[in-house]
Amino acid sequence: MYWLITLMTLGILGLIITGVLIELHPDKALGARRWFKPALGGNLLLFVGAQALLVFFGIQEVAAAPALADAAGEISLGMGLGIIGVGIPTAFSTIAAGIAVGPIGAASLAVLAEKPEIFGRTLIYLGLAEGIAIYGLVVSILLLDKL
């Protein structure tokens, strides 16, 4: 299992080194396109493949472990997946709220520069966009109550 983590780390380090090379010498890095795209593709393929193998071997290792969840106070596989499922609505709704607030906030600042009297209306729009995150949090709390 450690070899997979090492493989993923090497893939990430390759991407970081490539990014630093592009930042320091953009003309040289972009001039060598014949090796650039295959190197990035290879690093990305290495990372995604190692991630898939890590998930597969990690699930196999957890599923093969003896079931001592009640005796030792540990969380079982089903309970862990349930807790992850409870967190998903909060994660997605927070991302969606961030995506919504960005353009709305930029547009409201632009409008406030021209018409400061509509400040209250722009706050309402920002509040509606932030409400998406609150709805996701409420759904997660309701789901957590069901566990």
Q: How many Cα atoms occupy the beta-carbon half-sphere of 46 within 13 Å?
A: 19
* Domain boundary, last residue among 17, 41, 65: 65
Question: Does residue 127 form part of some domain?
Answer: yes
**Nearest-angstrom CA–CA distance, 15 and 138:** 38
Q: What are phi and psi of 73, to 5 degrees?
A: 80, 15
Question: Which conformational region is residue 23 in: left (phi greater than 0), alpha (psi within -120 to 50 degrees), or beta?
Answer: alpha
User: What domain range is 121 assigned to?
Assistant: 77-146
Question: Does residue 13 form part of some domain?
Answer: yes
pTM: 0.49
pLDDT in tens, 12-26: 787 788 778 777 877
**Nearest-angstrom CA–CA distance, 119 and 111:** 9
Confidence of residue 29 (pLDDT cuts 50, 70, 90): low
Number of domains in the chain: 2
Question: Does residue 72 form part of some domain?
Answer: no
**Nearest-angstrom CA–CA distance, 105 and 49:** 39
Angle (CA) 141-146-147 rounded to 5° is 100
pLDDT in tens, 76-95: 878 888 888 888 889 999 99
Question: Does residue 115 form part of some domain?
Answer: yes
Q: Please report, for the domain that includes residue 95, its CATH number.
A: 1.20.20.10
> Comparing 21-25, 29-33, 110-114, which segment has the lowest mean pLDDT?
29-33
